Amino acid sequence: MLMTEDEEEPEVNRGGRPPYRPTDEERKVVQIAAAIGIPHEEIAKHLNGGEGIAPKTLRKHFRDELDHGMFKLQARMGANLAALAFEAADMNVRLRATMFYLERKMGWNQTMNQRHAGEDGGPIKYVEIVDKIDMGL
């Protein structure tokens, strides 16, 4: 039978388990689990209604989610942070979101520099006092 370019070749079941068909919910779970660093073997154990799948099957059916999950999560988190920084009604929330971004992504930090100075802002006078101490020997 001739097939057009748009048609997929049907999977042939040669016995054993039926072919695995991922659900939309499983795709979401795999994307988030991969994004937060859960190992493939662990993710695979919890799919297919709790029965699990082989790690090879996971990689075959969820390649996009495994490869791009981290990027998608970081993009969403960044969008949420930007929304807080620019659109939050509470000015304190806007300030904290802005400070968080500046510190984490732009390398800014909140440090306190203390400078010690002598009289009238001049240098601190150093006096050698060893000679002035009665050693009592």
At residue 88, does pLDDT exceed 60? yes
Residue 41 lies in a domain: yes
Angle at 37 between CA 32 and CA 71, to 5 degrees: 55
d(CA 67, CA 53): 18
Residue 116 lies in a domain: no
| Closest among 26, 31, 28, 27 to 51, alpha carbons compared | 26
At residue 123, does pLDDT exceed 70? yes
| Closest among 111, 107, 49, 37 to 74, alpha carbons compared | 37
Residue 75 lies in a domain: yes
Residue 43 lies in a domain: yes
- Please, which pLDDT band fits residue 69 given cuts at 50, 70 and 90? very high
Q: Which domain holds residue 91?
A: 24-107
Residue 96 lies in a domain: yes
Give the mean pLDDT of 81-99: 95
List Cα–Cα distances, 51 to 21, 28, 59, 60, 89, in angstroms: 13, 18, 17, 17, 46
Residue 5 lies in a domain: no
Give the mean pLDDT of 50-60: 93
Total count of domains within the chain: 1
Residue 19 lies in a domain: no
pLDDT value of residue 91: 95
List Cα–Cα distances, 133 to 88, 110, 128, 129, in angstroms: 65, 43, 10, 7
| Closest among 60, 104, 63 to 81, alpha carbons compared | 104
Cβ-in-10-Å burial (0-12, 13-18, 19+) of 67 comes to exposed
